[in-house]
Amino acid sequence: MTIICDTHVLLFWANDKRRLSNPARKALDEGLARRALACADITVWEIALLHERGRLRLPPGIAPSQYMQAITDALRVEILLITPEIAALSRSLPLPHQDPADRLIAATALIHHAPLITADEKLRGLSELHTIW
């Protein structure tokens, strides 16, 4: 079974694994061993945005694209594309905010019938979404 990683989960794994909960760390380890980790394609855009806004510092001489590629390669993360079904579902989710990244990440997990590793309490509050934290 595929396991979807929220954006911050990939960043925690890359930068400070101590920020991951024990169940999240275990799910990542198991997903890596089974080559079953994935993320929504908006996740890589979100990482680029965090860097652009100064909220993510990269090692000197490392471009955002190199950084993202290193993470996805190390974890063997499959990047899942937004489909028309995912796009439509993302707009109908009962989330208390309009964050397009969160909506698309949740919809991706739902359409793929996959658990989502996330610390985001709003996403964890969606009863139809299976989350790990």
What are the tens digits of pLDDT across the range 54-89?
A: 999 998 999 999 999 999 999 999 999 999 999 999
Does 110 score more than 90 pLDDT? Answer: yes
Q: Which helix (H) or strand (E) holds 116?
A: strand 116-117
User: In sequence order, what are the beta bridge partners of 3?
Assistant: 37
The length of the chain, given as a count of residues:
133
Task: Give the model's pLDDT for residue 95.
Answer: 83
Main-chain phi, psi angles of 72, to 5 degrees: -65, -35
Rounded Cα distance between 24 and 82, Å, is 24
Rounded Cα distance between 104 and 43, Å, is 9
Does 98 score more than 90 pLDDT? Answer: no
Question: The whole model's pTM is what?
Answer: 0.94
- Cβ distance 58 to 51 under 8 Å? yes
pLDDT in tens, 18-47: 999 999 999 999 999 999 999 999 999 999
- CATH code for the domain defined by 3-132: 3.40.50.1010
Main-chain phi, psi angles of 78, to 5 degrees: -85, 130
Q: Where are the domains of the chain?
A: 3-132
**CA 98 remoteness from chain centre:** 17
